[in-house]
Amino acid sequence: MTALTVRVEGQDVVASDDEGRTVRLDGRLADSLQEAWRRASPPRGAGQATAAALGAIGEARAMRPREAREAPAWRTPLDGARVALGPLSHDASRPLAEVLARRRSERAWSPPALTDVATVLVRAARVASWAQASDGYVSSHRPAPSAGARHPLDLHFLAGQVDGLVSGTYVFDPVGCELVLADEPPDGLLTELGQIVGAADPPPAAVVAVAHAERTLSRYPGGLSLVWRDAGALLGTLHLCCSDVGLASCLVGSCGVVVNERSPLVVDVGCLLFGARSGQVAP
């Protein structure tokens, strides 16, 4: 089933589907939809800023860095079987203009090769260098930007069907450029994440951004919104790297699906589903 979005734009009614096809409705159908829109009661809070939105905007306006009293750990200790990705990643890359022109959200996929997975993760998220900041926190330089070089996001890799890799849940070590086995195969999670975006089949793999918000908050006390902005920057970089190597990928605005720890400051804040390209393309 293809989802259909209907928009009322002034005197026009426009309908579009998930594949990007758009038509402008006319005649009695458009008149009926416009009348139904005028008669419908707006949902509670429509057109008004919610308390959550006002709070987020207020935090963003007041945000100023400060010296941390105690610097949190800048990386998560990892223990488990390791798969080295550095030697598997390849150097070939398209021009940036071509990558941007080819970028699409795709929801049909087949198992990717481990070499392509390695290229995406290493190219988008490796630690190039690090140094201790004045407040004691270890700041690092990586391909994606991060507020205060705090890099609060760990990448969890869900491998369902990846050629050359045993199925399982891994954590990406950005310093050693390795996957560290952390848990069992994520079949149920991949199915759930695929359903969120309306994919016909579960994705063969996913990268989940897990936020350790205390890393950012130790420098920016009112900076929770920075964690979400960091997530957008990192996931967007991963998405473009998938486009570069020819993988199909789709961003998911999920939260709390994968990680649900006791601390509310550790939670997944979005993910990228991907695999080898095979079919359905959306704008």
Q: Tens of pLDDT along 228-280?
A: 999 999 999 999 999 999 999 999 999 988 886 767 789 999 999 999 988 54
- What mean pLDDT do residues 95-116 have? 95
What whole-number distance in Å separates Cα of residue 209 and Cα of residue 114? 20
> Looking at residue 282, what is its pLDDT?
45
Domain layout of the chain by residue ranges = 4-39, 81-282
pLDDT level of residue 281 (50, 70, 90 thresholds): very low
According to the 3-state scheme, what is the secondary structure of the chain? CCCEEEEEECCEEEEEECCCCEEEECHHHHHHHHHHHHHCCCCCCCCCCCHHHHHHHHHHHHCCCCCCCCCCCCCCCCCCCEEECHHHCCCCCCCHHHHHHHCCEECCEECCEHHHHHHHHHHHHCCCEEEECCCCCEEEECCCCCHHHCCCEEEEEEECCEECECCEEEEEECCCCEEEEEECCCHHHHHHHHHHCCCCCCCCEEEEEEEECHHHHCCCCCCHHHHHHHHHHHHHHHHHHHHHHCEEEEEECCCCCCCECCCCCEEEEEEEEEEEECCCEEC
Measure CA 36 to chain center.
Answer: 36
> Looking at residue 117, what is its pLDDT?
98
| Per-residue pLDDT at 70 exceeds 80 | no
pLDDT in tens, 183-235: 888 889 999 999 999 999 999 999 999 999 999 998 998 889 999 999 999 99
> Looking at residue 14, what is its pLDDT?
73
| Per-residue pLDDT at 68 exceeds 90 | no
Nearest 5°: phi and psi at 13? Answer: -125, 125
What whole-number distance in Å separates Cα of residue 171 and Cα of residue 187? 16
| Per-residue pLDDT at 104 exceeds 80 | yes
pLDDT in tens, 40-57: 555 555 566 777 788 888
* CATH topology assigned to domain 81-282: NADH Oxidase (3.40.109)
Match 């890393």 to its residue by tokens: 215
> Looking at residue 18, what is its pLDDT?
57
- What mean pLDDT do residues 92-121 have? 96
> Looking at residue 144, what is its pLDDT?
97
> Would you tell me how many other CB atoms lie within 10 Å of the CB of residue 142?
19
pLDDT in tens, 122-170: 999 999 999 998 888 999 999 999 999 999 999 999 999 999 999 999 9
What whole-number distance in Å separates Cα of residue 54 and Cα of residue 279? 41
> Looking at residue 60, what is its pLDDT?
82
pLDDT level of residue 34 (50, 70, 90 thresholds): low
Torsion of CA 105, 110, 111, 116, to 10 degrees: -40
| Per-residue pLDDT at 11 exceeds 70 | no
